[in-house]
Structure 1
Amino acid sequence: MSKKKKKKVGKAKSKPTNVKRIKDQTRAIFANKIGERFSYRQLIKMLGLRDKKSKETLKDILFGMESKGAITKAPDGRFVSAHEPDVVIGRVDHVNSRFAYIISEQYEEDIWVKTDDLKFAIDKDIVKVQVTKPPMDGFRPEGKVVELLERSKTEFVGRIEVSEKFSFVVPDNRNLHFDVFVYPEKIGKARHNDKVMVKVINWHNAKNRSPLGEVTMVLGAAGENEAEIHSIMAEFGLPFQFPEKVEQAAAQIPTEISEKDLKKRRDFRNITTFTIDPEDAKDFDDALSIEQLDNGDYEIGVHIADVSHYVQPNSVLEKEALTRATSVYLVDRTIPMLPEKLSNGLCSLRPNEDKLTFSAVFIMDESGKVKKKWFGRTIIHSNRRFTYEEAQERIETGEGDYAGEIRTLNNIAHKLKDKRFKNGAVNFETTEVKFKLDEKGKPLAVVPKVRKDAHKMIEEFMLLANREVATHIFKWGRGDDGQYTFVYRTHDNPDPEKLDGFAKFAAKFGHKMSTAGDISQGLNKLMDEIEGKPEQNVLEQLAIRSMAKAKYTTEPKAHFGLAFDHYTHFTSPIRRYPDVMVHRLLWHYLEGGKPVEVEPEEKKCQHSSEREKNAADAERASIKYKQVEFMQSMLGEEFEGIVSGVTEWGIFVEIVETKCEGMIRLADLSDDYYDFDEKNYRIIGQRNKRIITLGDKLTVKVVKTDIDRRTIDLDLVTEE
């Protein structure tokens, strides 16, 4: 019997080798791991080969690939793909502790890189990355950093945890996934739980995986308003004060207007003029004048503080203004672009004072048609300072001083707005919030900002001035000397793919939006439909995300959102450096100057766009801080919310009542294990098949707030 068994075994045929499978998998390894070396033994293990014949087949495949030049043998005997890997330069977006994306203009898709392959690069660093796995079958390309080109920053804000032998600084920024190790002699006067600024002095700390640093500034006790706001200022590189030489330069500017100052200025001091601003405004950089002409038309002046008269090129004031590029409006304070003597004094168009201005003056009829325009330097005398509330009262009641003038301006503004929308402007009325604070800066209430006719009236005349200045220079400058170099505010058309994605999400709420034909008309129809509905804020924010970003540039491109062929920023030189540039260039051309060199102006435009984004990020951070602080007193309370974002690690929910956003972590969902559907921005339960997607209405409970990270943790309240 044993002989028979042996005979039977001897006759059994060995399992056939799947040559095609081994060949395909081997090719896939080298195609997906470009630049990586593999030994023969490594490949056997990776392919799971056990029998001798399969291993011999692999040898033949490798020999064939090498002879065809598909792979080469490295000096150490290992095999590597002969294909040269793509190497691109990009910026790190370190989304979580496990991996980052490299965003590069040289590559269509973002490149996935695990944290261990970042070479100590951090969020926003500029790196050179080697693409080791090209994009395929819907998966992102993968890569590894081969060189760190530029550090975005080496100083960070965080909370220090002090012990006897060592300390750690935990950065506030959620995109920084490390603590900074600090020796006791390097913490200065910092105490446990203080907010501090820490500078990294060694990224490759051998004793500890954390980088090594030293405390450079103590900002105060964590949780206190001053410490937290100072932390935000330090995090975004915002200045705490003006350099002494800048303050001295401002102090030396004469306050009196001389006869010399009046040369080449048109005098508007006898024309009815007023300002309309928020109740708490300290600087008034624009004023309106109105005078009815004998033929029934109106001469309407948009008068802007003449900052360029006081801030001269190459002066210390000029250099500081360019460096800052913009004023920053945090929840409880303003970080101005110009010293107070200029922003709140000389350049503020206060009532009952003569002020030097730069003006755009229009002859208009009641329909809003511009019949004639004039630009130049002026002097005005404001008769009255209105708050928006006071101006609104005159619009609604027709009573009070200057009610007739304000109502006339409001009627014309309505005509201007109607024309804009008829021409394709997009009506984005996003809901903004402000806080009612006590004397210590603690938020007592979150109040939505309400925009009424008075706000929109001022906005329309500012838009008119900005458009007409840009259009005038563009058309005027197309002469023998070539196009006049100028500063434009441009806004590209939306990306069709993003817009299509937005339309699909809007459809989940029952709102149809066509992405074919007139995009603006479709967007406006949708904005009208959602006004006052719970999903309004979420859809408005998503619509804005689907749009291109506006920027400053010398290229005379159109502004999609406003439906203007040409547009600039002329109306706020107290708080925006590009407006100062516009005033200078406009005056240069009015005085007969030749086209200026493009490159220096374009560099200033790029810098201003970057500073503008940084300011917006800082403003959002201060709002988020106050929202988190406000929600601290509501732990355990339940709220209605709308899903405002979905990621692989959690669901973002905007609480309808307070407009505060928190996150439900996927790990905390106990009813099922949920998979993230990235393409459709949703999660799906593996067993219960429940789908939670953008825009869904949920009941949530506030379970935790973290001031340091400016986060709110929520739990999903299970529905019966």
Structure 2
Amino acid sequence: MAKKKKKERMKLKKSATFNKKKLKNAILSVLYEEPGKVVNYKQISSWLGIKDPEGRRLVNVAFEEMKDDEYLEQVSRGSYRLKAKTGTICGIVELQPQGFGYIVSDEVDRPVLVSSRNLNNAMDGDKVRVHLYARRKKHDLEGEVTEIVERAKTNFVGTVEMSRNFAFLVPAGKVGFDIFIAKENLNGAKDGQKAIAEIIEWPPKARSPFGKIIEVLGDTGNNDAEMHAILAEFELPHKFPEKVDKVAEKIPFEIPEEEYKKRRDFREITTFTIDPADAKDFDDALSIRKLENGNWEAGIHIADVTHYVVPNSLIEEEAQSRATSVYLVDRVVPMLPERLSNGVCSLRPNEDKLCFSAVFELTEDARVVNQWFGKTVIHSDRRFSYEEAQEIIESREGELSVEMLKLNELAKKLRSDRFKKGSIAFERVEIKFNIDENGKPLSVYFKEAKESNLLIEEFMLLANKKVAEFIGKPRGRKKPKTFVYRIHDKPDPDKLESFNSFISRFGYGIQLQSAKTISSSMNNLLDHVKGKKEQNVVETLAIRTMAKAEYSTRNIGHYGLSFDFYTHFTSPIRRYPDMMVHRLLEKYLEDGRSANEQKFEDLCNHSSDMENRAANAERASIKYKQVEFMQDHVGEIYPGVISGITDWGIYVELENKIEGMVPIRELDDDFYTFDEKNYALVGRHKNKKYQLGDDITVKIWRTNLEKKQLDFRLAENNKL
């Protein structure tokens, strides 16, 4: 038995490049061997062969999070033991289109399969307790939901279907049931309308929950109703409460004279903003001037939102709840009321504005030799769109061209230095729509980041990095004060292995020896695939190997940027974490005591969750417009590339970046099985293979706006 344990530990040591998820699984594997044992980070590090300081820090972060998630209990400071293990685990439901679910949990190393009949009314995103069945050889882990610990949501958006004496709400998204609505609970909703229903009861034997309509959004197909339905699907608001707007309207534009005296004055220094042409909320401005010693002073000036939004106010509570602005295809749903986001706080040209600034003295080769953080007042000389700034960069002439070109020159040097140090260059093409006044998409176009975008990005990264270092790297041996970091974990080693194996078929490869070799070889790969037909597939898969960035008070660095310290300081009009950072930075600049870590960690978790919802809503709105646009192209034939393979079909991306699916039942020339390892569907008899990255020609078969689904069939020349 002792030999077996040693063997297991040696196996874990061999894969000792841990990211956070892998590390948690490894810690649990070690502790399951000796359930009553009390351990600290030194013992775990030793057992797992973790010797570097960064890895040991990660062990501490993993301990803290596993305590929060109730996998471990803290016995004394720095010492933990496993909570009593039973035949059950806790995890989150990931509902699949066919009706069954996977339960994802840190307590087991792979998802647990639960059939639709054993989900026991659990819904997508719910936190559940699952009884594990005895493991069958070569089978998935399987189980049954025994308890719904926490519902992900109780409100659902969908379409009303009327009968004579009652109705059903047919929910949008991954929901495996309809909601029964009694006639008296319809709240004026009519057949075919979009509405939001709240579940009020789910009787034990009933196939459907009972609910009531709490808001009617409008007629199906109406653009506003559809966009509001997408927001409601992800439990995001589409309007401000009246009382919040009323409070905002009372905030004055005028800056009191005494406020000028408290701040560093930048009004005489050349300052401008660069934003999208249709933007109204200008978070950030740049200033630049040459110093007497020949160096350059670059100011990153950020709207001083927290001067206007005070703790415990109605506007603060609303901003905290929303946590982010939401960007749909045709609209922005702001985090702050319009008077603040587009008016009082927005750094509009030719107006004095209050800012929180990060000011750097840079040498000609863009080395930072001095820095200053504090409250300022600015006066923007000019508002540029990205296109106007790009024209100046390319033509090297125009208003404020000297300043623009110098900032761009410095940005290029900062960028080059960042990549040398291991930053990864993910640059995805964005799909955009030209839409008419009714929201109907007329055409599709792509938006790529040019030098003007990269200029702004580089100075924002500099400010975010330096603010995080300023707090996270205290002088001497002091413990860092509580702060909000933007963290990004290392990639999952298993995902990297299978990614490497897949790209080898195109003649590519990445080196997996260390974090540094992974990032530099990943950059070389992304550079090599530019302009090639496999570019999008390789980029998409590379991004899928990466962890998601999130907010936390427990800093583990930002892997993708290769920064040890990183935060979000530069967009407080549209992100609540930036408001938290402003408040903490202001407090610590005045020598304030460290803030309550648990309070800020909870706010970080909420902000990460809301950011995720906003991103899902944005994707859903893009998908809706894609399907709407393709309604006029049914029957047409398009070339595409296989962008995804599942056991229910082949996802194909067309040249216009629109994605649809060939259902597996339409592949009627053979019986196809899913080869997960090689991202392929393989015919059992004729051995025909459809693999990720393959060219393919498809016919637009059908569109379903309600489900945001676009179905293709293979064009004749793809059939055998």
Is TM-score (shorter-chain normalized) higher than 0.5? yes
Change beyond 3 A, Cα 1:213–1:304: same
Q: Deviations over 1:619-662 (max 9, x none)?
A: 11111111111111110011111111111111111112x21111
Letter in 1 for 2:507: G
Q: Deviations over 1:59-110 (max 9, x none)?
A: xxxxxxxxxxxxxxxxxxxxxxxxx961111111111344211111222211
Change beyond 3 A, Cα 1:645–1:548: same
Equivalence for 1:523: 522
Letter in 1 for 2:619: R
Equivalence for 1:555: 554
After TM superposition, the structure 1 = structure 2 runs for residues 74-473 of structure 1, keeping only pairs within 5 Å, are: 86-134=87-135, 136-173=136-173, 175-204=174-203, 206=205, 209-473=207-471
Q: Deviations over 1:662-706 (max 9, x none)?
A: 111111111111112233322111211111121111111111111
Contact 2:196–2:232 (CA under 8 A) maintained in structure 1: yes
After TM superposition, the structure 1 = structure 2 runs for residues 596-607 of structure 1, keeping only pairs within 5 Å, are: 596-607=595-606
Tell me whether 1:510 sits opposite 2:507 in the alignment. yes
CA distance in 1, matches of 2:185, 2:141: 42
The alpha carbon displacement at 1:165 in A equals 4.1
Give 3-state SS (helix, strand or coil) of 2:716's partner.
Answer: coil
The alpha carbon displacement at 1:211 in A equals 2.7
The alpha carbon displacement at 1:714 in A equals 0.6
CA distance in 2, matches of 1:667, 1:602: 47
Letter in 1 for 2:485: Y
CA distance in 2, matches of 1:325, 1:164: 42
The alpha carbon displacement at 1:479 in A equals 5.0
TM-score by length of 2: 0.85
Change beyond 3 A, Cα 1:129–1:606: same
CA distance in 2, matches of 1:596, 1:100: 40
Contact 2:253–2:344 (CA under 8 A) maintained in structure 1: yes
CA distance in 2, matches of 1:255, 1:345: 8
Contact 2:428–2:448 (CA under 8 A) maintained in structure 1: no
Contact 2:252–2:344 (CA under 8 A) maintained in structure 1: no
CA distance in 2, matches of 1:485, 1:182: 48
Contact 1:329–1:619 (CA under 8 A) maintained in structure 2: yes
The alpha carbon displacement at 1:493 in A equals 1.0
The alpha carbon displacement at 1:304 in A equals 0.3
Contact 2:498–2:677 (CA under 8 A) maintained in structure 1: no
Larger CA Rg, structure 1 vs 2: 1
Change beyond 3 A, Cα 1:477–1:224: farther
Change beyond 3 A, Cα 1:478–1:196: farther
The alpha carbon displacement at 1:313 in A equals 1.5
After TM superposition, the structure 1 = structure 2 runs for residues 63-74 of structure 1, keeping only pairs within 5 Å, are: none
After TM superposition, the structure 1 = structure 2 runs for residues 569-584 of structure 1, keeping only pairs within 5 Å, are: 569-584=568-583
The alpha carbon displacement at 1:241 in A equals 1.6
Letter in 1 for 2:114: V
Equivalence for 2:670: 672
> Residue 496 of structure 1 is aligned with which of 493, 502, 506?
493
Per mean C-alpha deviation after superposition, the further-off stretch among 557-566 and 265-274 is 557-566
CA distance in 1, matches of 2:296, 2:200: 65
CA distance in 1, matches of 2:333, 2:99: 36
Contact 1:85–1:132 (CA under 8 A) maintained in structure 2: no
CA distance in 1, matches of 2:277, 2:88: 55
Change beyond 3 A, Cα 1:477–1:130: farther
CA distance in 2, matches of 1:464, 1:323: 28
Equivalence for 1:484: 481
CA distance in 2, matches of 1:479, 1:587: 22
Q: Deviations over 1:361-395 (max 9, x none)?
A: 01111211111111100000000111111111111
Give 3-state SS (helix, strand or coil) of 2:472's partner.
Answer: helix
Q: Deviations over 1:200-252 (max 9, x none)?
A: 3332375x623333322222221221111011011111112212222222222
CA distance in 2, matches of 1:541, 1:678: 16
Equivalence for 1:49: none
Give 3-state SS (helix, strand or coil) of 2:438's partner.
Answer: coil
Change beyond 3 A, Cα 1:570–1:85: closer
- Unmatched 5+ residue regions in structure 2? 1-84
Equivalence for 1:659: 657
Per mean C-alpha deviation after superposition, the further-off stretch among 303-312 and 552-561 is 552-561
The alpha carbon displacement at 1:535 in A equals 2.3
The alpha carbon displacement at 1:477 in A equals 5.8
Q: Deviations over 1:579-604 (max 9, x none)?
A: 11111111111111122221111111
Q: Deviations over 1:7-60 (max 9, x none)?
A: xxxxxxxxxxxxxxxxxxxxxxxxxxxxxxxxxxxxxxxxxxxxxxxxxxxxxx
Letter in 2 for 1:260: E
The alpha carbon displacement at 1:164 in A equals 2.5
The alpha carbon displacement at 1:148 in A equals 1.6
Contact 1:97–1:177 (CA under 8 A) maintained in structure 2: no
The alpha carbon displacement at 1:515 in A equals 2.5
Contact 1:101–1:113 (CA under 8 A) maintained in structure 2: yes
The alpha carbon displacement at 1:346 in A equals 1.0
Give 3-state SS (helix, strand or coil) of 1:424's partner.
Answer: coil
Change beyond 3 A, Cα 1:379–1:98: closer
The alpha carbon displacement at 1:446 in A equals 1.2
Letter in 1 for 2:152: S
Letter in 2 for 1:245: K
CA distance in 1, matches of 2:97, 2:390: 48
- Unmatched 5+ residue regions in structure 1? 1-83
CA distance in 2, matches of 1:191, 1:242: 25
TM-score by length of 1: 0.85
Letter in 2 for 1:92: V
Equivalence for 2:54: none
CA distance in 2, matches of 1:186, 1:597: 44
Give 3-state SS (helix, strand or coil) of 1:508's partner.
Answer: helix
CA distance in 1, matches of 2:431, 2:157: 26
Q: Deviations over 1:268-306 (max 9, x none)?
A: 000000001110000111000000112221111000000
Contact 2:486–2:567 (CA under 8 A) maintained in structure 1: yes
CA distance in 2, matches of 1:556, 1:198: 40
CA distance in 2, matches of 1:320, 1:557: 30
Identity of aligned residues (%): 52
Give 3-state SS (helix, strand or coil) of 2:539's partner.
Answer: helix
CA distance in 1, matches of 2:186, 2:635: 37
User: Alignment length, in residue pairs?
Assistant: 632
CA distance in 2, matches of 1:218, 1:577: 29
Letter in 1 for 2:495: K
Change beyond 3 A, Cα 1:294–1:98: closer
CA distance in 2, matches of 1:511, 1:718: 32
CA distance in 1, matches of 2:123, 2:648: 20
Letter in 1 for 2:502: F
CA distance in 2, matches of 1:610, 1:671: 44
Letter in 1 for 2:89: V
Give 3-state SS (helix, strand or coil) of 2:473's partner.
Answer: helix
Letter in 2 for 1:488: Y
The alpha carbon displacement at 1:161 in A equals 2.2
